Each structure stands twice: as structure tokens, then as C-alpha cells.
Structure 1
């Protein structure tokens, strides 16, 4: 179906596009300059890139328009340099509102403000593959190369992990109660193979943990097994 044949849903005036603080926060659109994105039927995912000029906190919300349901687990936030990358993998056909929130790190307050809103049309229907849960510290310059997702009940003994975690002294993957250290192969880049063939209880999590200062580990990503 062509973009011209798609009937747009009713959206509140002023919702789409840049919001009040977009320019004030020094943000710029790197990949998609228009607020409406039409994905192709054979396109399972789309990546939106947002540029920044200063240190800033970012989060995102993905909402199914037809189902009125938040599905942010289908958006992976990654960072490369001053760019934030939002990899979106819609679970079902339809329209999705992608709402980006931000706040400069030198501004007080926990409440991030809406800075840009997209409307994404997804006509396809692919395998349901949510991304791992991302904790706030993950969005502080980290990048996940693999695995982008893990299937439920996985029993693979050789799952490769590769992540960039700036300023980390140690990165480990905890599967159930088992800790698996990753090796720092270059500055800030950690990788290695993790065994998922060992017995872990139903409903367990695989957690990517990092140690920065001291002995405490912080959870950055969480996969449902």
C-alpha cells in the first residue's frame, strides 16, 4: 500500500513534530526529517536517529494508536557519540506514536519533557520480538550490538554478547543465578559468549550488569527468558 493510500488517524493539532524545547535543548533530526514515517510491508524495523549538542537525558514511549496500548519494549535506545538511535520493531500492523522525551543533565528535576513526536505506519506482520528492558543508566551512552533479543526458553550454549558501556570497569551477564563475565576487547567495548543451555528456572531473567566505581553492579539491560 502506498503512503498516499493510507488514511491517517486523527491526531491532536500540534502533537506531531518538534515540541517547545526541541531547539532549546540543541536537538536535531539526523535520519527522519518528517514526523510521519511510512514503513514498507517487507520492512520489520526502522531506526530513527536524533542528534544532540550537549549532555542530555533521553527516553522514549511507543504507543499503538489503534489499541491504545504502550509497547515501549519494541523500541531499543542506543547511543553513538552525540547521536541517540531509536530502533523500532512494531509487533502488529497499524499506527504507532513514538514520543521522545529529554532533559539536559544540568537541569534539575526527574520529569523529562516531550521534545519530538513521530507517527509511524507499519503495514507488515513479523515475528514478535521485543527488545530487552532498558534501565536509565543504559541510555547514558551505551550501545548494544548483539543480541538484540532472546527467544523465550532459549537453550543455546553459545550466545554472543557485544556491548559498548562507557567508563565501565567490568560487565557481566547474569543468567538466573549464574554470572558470566564479558571481556573488554577494546576501550569501553565488552564481548563474549554466554551459555543459555544450563538449567534456569521458568520466568528467569538475563541481566546485563556493569560495575563503574566501587564494587556495586548496576543492571543496564534485562531479557525475559
Structure 2
């Protein structure tokens, strides 16, 4: 039986479960085995199985019934619906990022300390160095933007950013997969330009550049 061999594990586990559903191993409306059975079959832990089930439930393939288990709700993913849902979520995330990060960039330019600026520069360097692994690139990108929000010295903004990070991370990964490219020189330059404006204490330029960059991420 096929086992998960690549990361991200939850996505691979979801793909393998979907393959088995497509192959007819479980019919429409049937109940899936429990996590303790599926985990060893796929070579992953229970938390990974739970995340895989959540992914397939979000795509309308599985349905979780409280106290009863997980059931097959569809025999395949409705691709057009799934893509539209991902695109809508990406745009919602970007709009929320604009609301948080554009103002944070302006405040960071006004309030940043030398230590803040060093932290943003270090995050920018790490972002520049990580252009080969997609998920790692998203992580260093988030760290760069968080350093800017932290430099704004507004505890509410940093709390909003941190609470929003898990959903933002997944949306950015989905975006890069849909675009099938990341880590370009143009993209890195856009981030460096924001850093330079903050270093120059030019809040108007910093916020304008942050807005411009985030708007380029929106899906048409």
C-alpha cells in the first residue's frame, strides 16, 4: 500500500485518501476507518490524518459527523469550485493583510529603533537566501513582515498579525502553488524598497510600497 514520502505530509495524505476514494475503496456515504487505522496505512501520525480529513472536508469530499465519524460526501473534488474557493480566500487574506500591514509600515518608519531596523534587515536577508523551498520561503516572508509590524510598537497590530498568521500562511502557499513561481528578484526588490523607506523614516513611502506590493498578490 502506498505511503506518504514527501512533505507537506497533510497534503500528501489528503491526496492518497482521495486516490483511494476515486478508486472505489469507499463508496459514497460510507464511513472511513478511524485515525488509528488510517495513520499506519499512510505512514503518518494522527494529527496529520486529522489535517488531511479537514482538507478533504473543505473540498466537499468528506463530511465529519460529531460522534459518528467521517463519511464520504463526494467521489471527487469539484475542481472549479475548489479553485474559486481558494482564490476567494487568498484575496480575503490579502485584503486583511493590507488593513494590518500598510498602517504598520507607516508606524514602523516613524517609531522603529536601531534594534528594530536590524531585525528587519536580518529578516530581509533570510528571505533573500531562501528562494528554493516554497513553504520555507513563505515562512521567512512572514518573518520579514512580522518584523515590520513589531517595529510599529502597537501591541494590537502584532496580536492581530500573530492570530492571523496560520490562515495567512496557508493562503500564501496556495497562491504560490497557483502561480507556480516565487522568489523572483523583482519580488525581493519590492521588499527591500519597503525596508529602505522604513530605514529613511519615510512613512508615506513605506505604506504606499506595502500597499502596492500586497495588491500585486491579489488574484484576478
Superposition TM-score tier, normalisation by shorter sequence? under 0.3
More strand, by proportion: 1
| Higher-RCO chain (CA-CA 8 Å, sequence separation at least 6) | 2
* Structure with the bigger percentage of helix: 2
TM-score, normalising length from structure 2? 0.21
Work out which of the two has the higher radius of gyration on C-alpha atoms and give 1 or 2.
2
